[in-house]
Structure 1
Amino acid sequence: MITRNIKVKEIGGLNLVGFRVVCPGDEYIIEIPKAAAKLKERVDEIQHLVNKQIQLGAFVAEDATVDLDGYWVGMEVEKIEVIPPGMVSLTIPPQAYVSTFYQGTNHGIRDAYRDMHEWAEINGYARRRDLWHVERFYRFDNSDQVEVELLDTVDLK
Protein backbone atom coordinates (compact mmCIF):
# COMPACT_ATOMS: atom_id res chain seq x y z
CA MET A 1 0.00 0.00 0.00
CA ILE A 2 1.30 3.45 -0.94
CA THR A 3 1.01 6.01 1.84
CA ARG A 4 -1.57 8.56 0.80
CA ASN A 5 -3.48 11.26 2.64
CA ILE A 6 -6.55 9.11 3.29
CA LYS A 7 -9.29 10.28 5.64
CA VAL A 8 -13.00 9.90 6.35
CA LYS A 9 -15.36 12.77 5.57
CA GLU A 10 -19.07 13.37 5.51
CA ILE A 11 -20.62 15.28 2.62
CA GLY A 12 -24.13 16.65 2.45
CA GLY A 13 -26.35 15.88 -0.52
CA LEU A 14 -25.04 16.58 -4.01
CA ASN A 15 -27.10 17.66 -7.03
CA LEU A 16 -25.52 16.94 -10.42
CA VAL A 17 -26.47 17.85 -13.98
CA GLY A 18 -24.60 16.27 -16.88
CA PHE A 19 -24.37 13.07 -18.89
CA ARG A 20 -24.85 9.39 -18.09
CA VAL A 21 -22.41 6.98 -19.73
CA VAL A 22 -23.46 3.34 -20.14
CA CYS A 23 -21.15 1.01 -22.09
CA PRO A 24 -19.24 -2.29 -21.73
CA GLY A 25 -16.84 -2.16 -18.76
CA ASP A 26 -13.61 -1.93 -20.74
CA GLU A 27 -14.90 1.08 -22.73
CA TYR A 28 -15.49 3.41 -19.76
CA ILE A 29 -11.89 4.61 -19.83
CA ILE A 30 -12.57 5.87 -23.39
CA GLU A 31 -16.19 7.01 -23.07
CA ILE A 32 -15.97 8.94 -19.79
CA PRO A 33 -13.36 11.44 -21.11
CA LYS A 34 -15.58 11.98 -24.19
CA ALA A 35 -18.55 12.80 -21.94
CA ALA A 36 -16.34 15.08 -19.80
CA ALA A 37 -15.23 16.99 -22.93
CA LYS A 38 -18.84 17.33 -24.11
CA LEU A 39 -19.88 18.59 -20.66
CA LYS A 40 -17.06 21.16 -20.67
CA GLU A 41 -18.30 22.47 -24.04
CA ARG A 42 -21.87 22.79 -22.75
CA VAL A 43 -21.23 23.91 -19.16
CA ASP A 44 -22.72 27.38 -19.79
CA GLU A 45 -26.13 25.78 -20.42
CA ILE A 46 -26.32 24.53 -16.81
CA GLN A 47 -28.08 26.75 -14.26
CA HIS A 48 -27.15 27.24 -10.59
CA LEU A 49 -23.54 25.94 -10.92
CA VAL A 50 -21.53 25.60 -7.73
CA ASN A 51 -18.10 25.68 -9.47
CA LYS A 52 -17.68 25.47 -13.25
CA GLN A 53 -14.02 24.37 -12.87
CA ILE A 54 -14.85 21.08 -11.11
CA GLN A 55 -16.52 18.08 -12.75
CA LEU A 56 -17.92 15.22 -10.72
CA GLY A 57 -18.25 11.59 -11.62
CA ALA A 58 -20.67 9.30 -9.79
CA PHE A 59 -21.29 5.56 -9.87
CA VAL A 60 -22.67 2.69 -7.84
CA ALA A 61 -19.98 0.01 -7.56
CA GLU A 62 -22.50 -2.82 -7.36
CA ASP A 63 -25.17 -2.39 -10.02
CA ALA A 64 -28.37 -3.33 -8.24
CA THR A 65 -30.68 -2.23 -11.05
CA VAL A 66 -30.55 -1.07 -14.66
CA ASP A 67 -31.37 2.44 -13.39
CA LEU A 68 -28.09 2.57 -11.46
CA ASP A 69 -25.85 1.09 -14.15
CA GLY A 70 -23.25 3.40 -15.69
CA TYR A 71 -21.22 6.45 -14.77
CA TRP A 72 -22.56 9.97 -14.42
CA VAL A 73 -20.33 12.90 -15.50
CA GLY A 74 -21.76 16.11 -14.11
CA MET A 75 -21.43 19.52 -12.61
CA GLU A 76 -22.60 20.25 -9.09
CA VAL A 77 -25.57 22.61 -8.92
CA GLU A 78 -27.21 24.31 -5.94
CA LYS A 79 -30.64 23.14 -7.13
CA ILE A 80 -32.04 21.23 -10.08
CA GLU A 81 -34.59 23.18 -12.11
CA VAL A 82 -34.05 23.14 -15.86
CA ILE A 83 -32.07 20.25 -17.33
CA PRO A 84 -30.48 21.12 -20.71
CA PRO A 85 -31.51 18.95 -23.71
CA GLY A 86 -29.72 15.59 -23.77
CA MET A 87 -28.52 15.91 -20.18
CA VAL A 88 -29.69 14.16 -17.01
CA SER A 89 -29.79 15.04 -13.32
CA LEU A 90 -28.80 13.03 -10.28
CA THR A 91 -29.26 13.67 -6.57
CA ILE A 92 -26.89 11.91 -4.18
CA PRO A 93 -27.99 11.86 -0.52
CA PRO A 94 -25.68 12.85 2.35
CA GLN A 95 -23.09 10.10 2.86
CA ALA A 96 -19.79 9.27 4.58
CA TYR A 97 -16.74 8.60 2.42
CA VAL A 98 -13.16 7.46 2.64
CA SER A 99 -11.36 10.19 0.70
CA THR A 100 -7.99 10.63 -0.99
CA PHE A 101 -6.56 13.04 -3.55
CA TYR A 102 -4.90 11.52 -6.62
CA GLN A 103 -2.66 13.16 -9.24
CA GLY A 104 -1.35 11.18 -12.22
CA THR A 105 -2.54 9.21 -15.22
CA ASN A 106 -6.12 8.07 -15.63
CA HIS A 107 -4.91 4.45 -15.42
CA GLY A 108 -3.33 5.02 -11.99
CA ILE A 109 -6.67 5.77 -10.33
CA ARG A 110 -7.20 2.03 -9.79
CA ASP A 111 -4.08 1.87 -7.57
CA ALA A 112 -5.36 4.80 -5.50
CA TYR A 113 -8.68 3.01 -5.02
CA ARG A 114 -6.88 -0.19 -4.00
CA ASP A 115 -4.93 1.77 -1.38
CA MET A 116 -8.13 3.41 -0.10
CA HIS A 117 -9.91 0.06 0.15
CA GLU A 118 -6.99 -1.43 2.10
CA TRP A 119 -6.88 1.60 4.41
CA ALA A 120 -10.65 1.41 5.02
CA GLU A 121 -10.45 -2.30 5.86
CA ILE A 122 -7.46 -1.86 8.20
CA ASN A 123 -9.26 1.01 9.95
CA GLY A 124 -12.56 -0.84 10.32
CA TYR A 125 -14.73 1.00 7.78
CA ALA A 126 -17.20 -1.11 5.79
CA ARG A 127 -17.47 -0.19 2.09
CA ARG A 128 -20.95 0.48 0.77
CA ARG A 129 -20.80 -0.83 -2.79
CA ASP A 130 -24.58 -0.32 -3.11
CA LEU A 131 -24.43 3.48 -2.65
CA TRP A 132 -23.06 6.34 -4.75
CA HIS A 133 -19.30 6.80 -5.03
CA VAL A 134 -18.02 10.17 -6.22
CA GLU A 135 -14.96 11.41 -8.08
CA ARG A 136 -14.35 15.17 -7.91
CA PHE A 137 -12.13 16.16 -10.86
CA TYR A 138 -10.10 19.36 -10.58
CA ARG A 139 -8.13 18.60 -13.74
CA PHE A 140 -9.67 16.29 -16.30
CA ASP A 141 -8.90 17.43 -19.85
CA ASN A 142 -5.72 15.35 -20.21
CA SER A 143 -5.92 11.65 -19.31
CA ASP A 144 -2.14 11.62 -18.72
CA GLN A 145 -2.46 14.20 -15.92
CA VAL A 146 -5.64 14.15 -13.87
CA GLU A 147 -6.25 15.65 -10.44
CA VAL A 148 -9.13 14.04 -8.60
CA GLU A 149 -10.51 13.54 -5.12
CA LEU A 150 -11.77 9.97 -4.82
CA LEU A 151 -14.72 9.49 -2.47
CA ASP A 152 -15.57 5.86 -1.67
CA THR A 153 -18.75 5.43 0.36
CA VAL A 154 -18.47 3.73 3.77
CA ASP A 155 -20.50 3.21 6.92
CA LEU A 156 -19.31 5.29 9.84
CA LYS A 157 -18.11 3.29 12.84
Structure 2
Amino acid sequence: MGKTVRELGEMKLVGVRGLCPGDQFLSEIPKASHMLSKRINEIKHVVHPLLQFGAFVVENQSAEEDGYWVCVEVNEYEDIPSDLVTLTVPPQRYAVSRHKGANDQIMNWYEELHAWIDDNYYSRRKEKWHLEKFYSWHDPENVELELFDTIE
Protein backbone atom coordinates (compact mmCIF):
# COMPACT_ATOMS: atom_id res chain seq x y z
CA MET A 1 0.00 0.00 0.00
CA GLY A 2 1.02 3.62 -0.40
CA LYS A 3 3.47 5.33 1.90
CA THR A 4 3.43 8.97 2.89
CA VAL A 5 4.74 11.48 5.41
CA ARG A 6 2.39 12.88 8.05
CA GLU A 7 2.74 15.24 10.99
CA LEU A 8 0.67 14.58 14.10
CA GLY A 9 0.12 16.94 16.99
CA GLU A 10 0.46 15.94 20.61
CA MET A 11 -1.46 12.79 21.49
CA LYS A 12 -2.78 11.88 24.92
CA LEU A 13 -3.09 8.12 25.30
CA VAL A 14 -4.59 5.94 28.04
CA GLY A 15 -4.19 2.19 28.22
CA VAL A 16 -2.00 -0.70 29.21
CA ARG A 17 1.77 -0.97 29.21
CA GLY A 18 3.14 -4.36 28.25
CA LEU A 19 6.53 -5.59 29.37
CA CYS A 20 7.61 -9.00 28.13
CA PRO A 21 10.36 -10.63 26.07
CA GLY A 22 10.25 -9.54 22.42
CA ASP A 23 9.13 -12.92 21.15
CA GLN A 24 5.97 -12.76 23.31
CA PHE A 25 4.62 -9.43 22.01
CA LEU A 26 2.71 -11.08 19.13
CA SER A 27 0.61 -13.04 21.63
CA GLU A 28 0.49 -10.45 24.45
CA ILE A 29 -0.55 -7.37 22.43
CA PRO A 30 -3.87 -8.91 21.26
CA LYS A 31 -4.68 -9.88 24.87
CA ALA A 32 -4.06 -6.29 26.01
CA SER A 33 -6.19 -4.95 23.13
CA HIS A 34 -9.13 -7.15 24.07
CA MET A 35 -8.85 -6.19 27.72
CA LEU A 36 -8.75 -2.49 26.84
CA SER A 37 -11.81 -2.89 24.59
CA LYS A 38 -13.77 -4.35 27.49
CA ARG A 39 -12.79 -1.42 29.73
CA ILE A 40 -13.32 1.45 27.28
CA ASN A 41 -16.32 2.72 29.25
CA GLU A 42 -14.05 3.34 32.28
CA ILE A 43 -11.96 5.88 30.34
CA LYS A 44 -13.23 9.44 30.04
CA HIS A 45 -12.87 11.73 27.01
CA VAL A 46 -12.06 8.97 24.49
CA VAL A 47 -11.63 10.45 21.00
CA HIS A 48 -12.64 7.32 19.07
CA PRO A 49 -13.53 4.15 21.03
CA LEU A 50 -13.06 1.86 18.02
CA LEU A 51 -9.44 2.89 17.33
CA GLN A 52 -6.50 1.68 19.37
CA PHE A 53 -2.91 2.83 19.28
CA GLY A 54 0.25 0.91 19.97
CA ALA A 55 3.19 3.03 21.12
CA PHE A 56 6.84 2.12 21.58
CA VAL A 57 10.36 3.48 21.43
CA VAL A 58 12.69 1.43 19.20
CA GLU A 59 15.87 2.40 21.05
CA ASN A 60 14.60 3.38 24.50
CA GLN A 61 16.88 5.47 26.68
CA SER A 62 15.30 4.52 30.02
CA ALA A 63 13.28 1.84 31.78
CA GLU A 64 10.25 4.16 31.62
CA GLU A 65 10.29 3.92 27.80
CA ASP A 66 10.66 0.14 27.67
CA GLY A 67 7.72 -1.96 26.52
CA TYR A 68 4.69 -1.56 24.31
CA TRP A 69 1.63 0.55 25.16
CA VAL A 70 -1.86 -0.44 23.95
CA CYS A 71 -4.03 2.66 24.25
CA VAL A 72 -6.92 4.80 23.13
CA GLU A 73 -6.59 8.51 22.46
CA VAL A 74 -8.26 10.93 24.86
CA ASN A 75 -8.86 14.68 24.73
CA GLU A 76 -7.76 15.07 28.33
CA TYR A 77 -6.73 12.96 31.31
CA GLU A 78 -9.39 12.65 34.01
CA ASP A 79 -10.03 9.98 36.65
CA ILE A 80 -7.75 7.39 35.04
CA PRO A 81 -8.27 3.93 36.60
CA SER A 82 -5.29 3.12 38.81
CA ASP A 83 -4.25 0.05 36.80
CA LEU A 84 -4.15 1.94 33.49
CA VAL A 85 -1.35 4.23 32.31
CA THR A 86 -1.14 7.56 30.52
CA LEU A 87 1.32 8.47 27.80
CA THR A 88 1.71 11.83 26.09
CA VAL A 89 3.35 11.60 22.67
CA PRO A 90 4.72 14.98 21.52
CA PRO A 91 4.08 16.42 18.05
CA GLN A 92 6.17 14.43 15.57
CA ARG A 93 6.68 13.70 11.89
CA TYR A 94 6.12 10.15 10.65
CA ALA A 95 6.55 7.96 7.62
CA VAL A 96 3.20 6.15 7.38
CA SER A 97 2.02 3.00 5.69
CA ARG A 98 -1.31 1.16 6.01
CA HIS A 99 -1.50 -2.62 6.04
CA LYS A 100 -3.96 -5.45 6.35
CA GLY A 101 -3.09 -9.06 7.08
CA ALA A 102 -1.72 -11.39 9.74
CA ASN A 103 -0.08 -9.75 12.74
CA ASP A 104 2.96 -12.02 12.37
CA GLN A 105 3.72 -10.13 9.13
CA ILE A 106 4.12 -6.74 10.83
CA MET A 107 7.93 -6.98 10.82
CA ASN A 108 7.87 -7.50 7.03
CA TRP A 109 5.66 -4.41 6.69
CA TYR A 110 8.16 -2.43 8.76
CA GLU A 111 11.01 -3.60 6.53
CA GLU A 112 9.13 -2.22 3.50
CA LEU A 113 8.47 1.08 5.27
CA HIS A 114 12.10 1.38 6.39
CA ALA A 115 13.30 0.77 2.83
CA TRP A 116 10.92 3.52 1.62
CA ILE A 117 12.29 5.87 4.30
CA ASP A 118 15.84 5.20 3.12
CA ASP A 119 14.91 5.48 -0.57
CA ASN A 120 13.36 8.89 0.09
CA TYR A 121 16.31 10.20 2.14
CA TYR A 122 14.51 10.50 5.47
CA SER A 123 16.17 9.64 8.79
CA ARG A 124 14.47 7.40 11.33
CA ARG A 125 14.23 8.70 14.89
CA LYS A 126 14.58 5.44 16.81
CA GLU A 127 14.80 7.23 20.18
CA LYS A 128 11.31 8.79 19.72
CA TRP A 129 7.81 7.36 20.13
CA HIS A 130 6.53 5.27 17.21
CA LEU A 131 2.85 4.50 16.76
CA GLU A 132 0.64 1.82 15.32
CA LYS A 133 -2.98 2.84 14.68
CA PHE A 134 -5.23 -0.23 14.77
CA TYR A 135 -8.49 -0.12 12.85
CA SER A 136 -9.11 -3.85 13.31
CA TRP A 137 -7.31 -6.07 15.81
CA HIS A 138 -9.78 -8.74 16.94
CA ASP A 139 -8.50 -11.42 14.54
CA PRO A 140 -4.68 -11.83 14.66
CA GLU A 141 -4.83 -13.31 11.14
CA ASN A 142 -6.55 -10.22 9.77
CA VAL A 143 -5.44 -6.98 11.42
CA GLU A 144 -5.69 -3.59 9.76
CA LEU A 145 -3.36 -0.85 10.90
CA GLU A 146 -1.22 2.12 9.98
CA LEU A 147 2.45 2.12 10.93
CA PHE A 148 3.81 5.49 12.06
CA ASP A 149 7.61 5.41 12.05
CA THR A 150 9.08 8.63 13.43
CA ILE A 151 11.36 10.50 11.04
CA GLU A 152 13.31 13.75 10.92
Pick the TM interval, shorter chain: over 0.9
Residue identity over aligned pairs, in percent, reads: 43
**Of 130, 135, 143, the match for 1:133:** 130
State whether structure 2 residue 29 is matched by structure 1 residue 35: no
State whether structure 2 residue 15 is matched by structure 1 residue 57: no
Give a deviation string over 1:84-138, Cα, whole Å, max 9, x none.
1310000000000000100000011111110110000110100000000000000
- The count of corresponding residues between Structure 1 and Structure 2 is 152
CA distance in 1, matches of 2:12, 2:122: 25
State whether structure 2 residue 110 is matched by structure 1 residue 110: no
Aligned residue in 1 for 2:121: 124
Q: Which runs of 4+ in 1 moved over 6 A?
A: none
Equivalences for 1:3-152 in 2 at 5 Å?
Answer: 4-152=1-149
Unaligned regions of 5+ residues in structure 1, if any?
none
Aligned Cα RMSD in Å?
0.6
User: Secondary structure at 1:147's aligned position in 2?
Assistant: strand
CA distance in 2, matches of 1:85, 1:144: 32
User: Secondary structure at 2:39's aligned position in 1?
Assistant: helix
Give a deviation string over 1:40-75, Cα, whole Å, max 9, x none.
010110000100000000000012110100000000
Aligned residue type for 2:14: V
CA distance in 2, matches of 1:147, 1:12: 23
Aligned residue type for 1:66: A
CA distance in 2, matches of 1:28, 1:146: 15
Aligned residue type for 1:81: E
TM-score normalised by L of structure 2:
0.98
Aligned residue type for 1:49: V
Aligned residue type for 1:38: M
User: Secondary structure at 2:32's aligned position in 1?
Assistant: helix
User: Secondary structure at 1:72's aligned position in 2?
Assistant: strand
Give a deviation string over 1:3-34, Cα, whole Å, max 9, x none.
x3000000001100000000111111111111
